[in-house]
Amino acid sequence: MAISELDVQNTLKTLVDPNTDADFVSSKSAKNIQINGSDVSVDIVLGYPAKSVLAELKALVENKLATIAGIGKITVNIGSRIVPHSAQRGVPLIPNVKNIIAVASGKGGVGKSTTAVNIALALAEEGANVGILDADIYGPSQPQMLGISGRPDSADGKSIEPMQAHGIQAMSIGFLVDVDTPMVWRGPMVTGALEQLLRDTRWKDLDYLIIDLPPGTGDIQLTLSQKVPVTGAIIVTTPQDIALLDARKGLKMFEKVGIPILGIVENMSTHICSKCGHEEHIFGAGGGEAMCKDYNVDLLGSLPLDIKIREQSDGGKPTVISEPNSQIAGIYKQIARKTASKLSQLALDHSSKFPNIVIQNT
Domain edge (last residue) among 80, 114, 147: 80
Give the residue from 7, 137, 156 showing the smallest Cα distance to 71.
7
Domain edge (last residue) among 50, 80, 110: 80
In a domain, 361, yes or no: no
In a domain, 350, yes or no: no
Chain mean position to CA 192: 25
Residues 297 and 184 in one domain: yes
Residues 76 and 131 in one domain: no
Question: According to the model, what pLDDT value does residue 359 have?
Answer: 56
Angstrom distance (rounded) from CA 105 to CA 113: 10
Angstrom distance (rounded) from CA 33 to CA 339: 28
Query: From the CB of residue 206, how many other CB atoms can be counted at a distance below 10 Å?
Result: 23
Q: Look up residue 294 and give its amino acid.
A: D
Question: According to the model, what pLDDT value does residue 55 have?
Answer: 94
In a domain, 124, yes or no: yes
In a domain, 25, yes or no: yes
In the chain, the number of structural domains is 2
Question: According to the model, what pLDDT value does residue 353 have?
Answer: 54
Residues 114 and 239 in one domain: yes
User: Which residues are annotated binding-site positions for ATP?
Assistant: 106-113
Report field, pTM of the whole predicted structure over 0.85 = yes
Residues 138 and 240 in one domain: yes
Residues 306 and 238 in one domain: yes
User: Which residues are annotated binding-site positions?
Assistant: 106-113
In a domain, 303, yes or no: yes
- For residue 62, what are the domain limits? 5-80
Give the residue from 162, 161, 168 showing the smallest Cα distance to 116.
168
Residues 107 and 38 in one domain: no
Q: Decide if 11 contacts 67 (C-beta within 8 A).
A: yes
Residues 18 and 73 in one domain: yes
CATH number at residue 72: 3.30.300.130
Residues 113 and 212 in one domain: yes
DSSP string, 238-274: -SSHHHHHHHHHHHHHHHHTTPPEEEEEE-S--EE-T
In a domain, 349, yes or no: no
Residues 178 and 63 in one domain: no
In a domain, 340, yes or no: yes
Residues 64 and 122 in one domain: no
DSSP 8-state assignment for residue 85:
B
Coil vs helix vs strand at 280 = strand
Residues 63 and 165 in one domain: no
Angstrom distance (rounded) from CA 140 to CA 145: 10
- Four-residue CA torsion sign, 42, 48, 54, 57: negative
Angstrom distance (rounded) from CA 279 to CA 187: 42
Residues 68 and 117 in one domain: no
Question: According to the model, what pLDDT value does residue 344 have?
Answer: 93
CATH number at residue 160: 3.40.50.300
In a domain, 354, yes or no: no
Query: Which runs of E-coded beta strand occur in the chain?
Result: 16-17, 22-23, 30-36, 39-46, 74-80, 97-104, 130-134, 163-165, 168-172, 206-212, 232-237, 261-266, 271-272, 279-280, 299-302
Angstrom distance (rounded) from CA 305 to CA 26: 38
Give the total residue count for the chain: 362
Q: What's the Cα-to-Cα distance from 324 to each of 241, 297, 312, rounded to whole Å?
A: 32, 28, 12
Per-residue pLDDT of the chain (362 residues; tens, 9 = 90+): 678 889 899 999 999 999 888 999 998 999 999 999 899 999 999 999 999 999 999 999 999 999 999 899 999 999 999 999 988 888 888 999 999 999 988 777 788 999 999 999 999 999 999 999 998 877 788 989 999 988 889 888 888 999 999 999 999 988 888 776 666 666 677 778 888 889 999 999 999 999 998 887 766 677 777 788 999 999 998 887 777 787 888 888 888 888 899 999 998 877 767 777 777 776 667 767 778 888 888 999 988 888 888 889 989 999 999 999 999 999 999 999 999 999 999 888 666 554 554 455 54
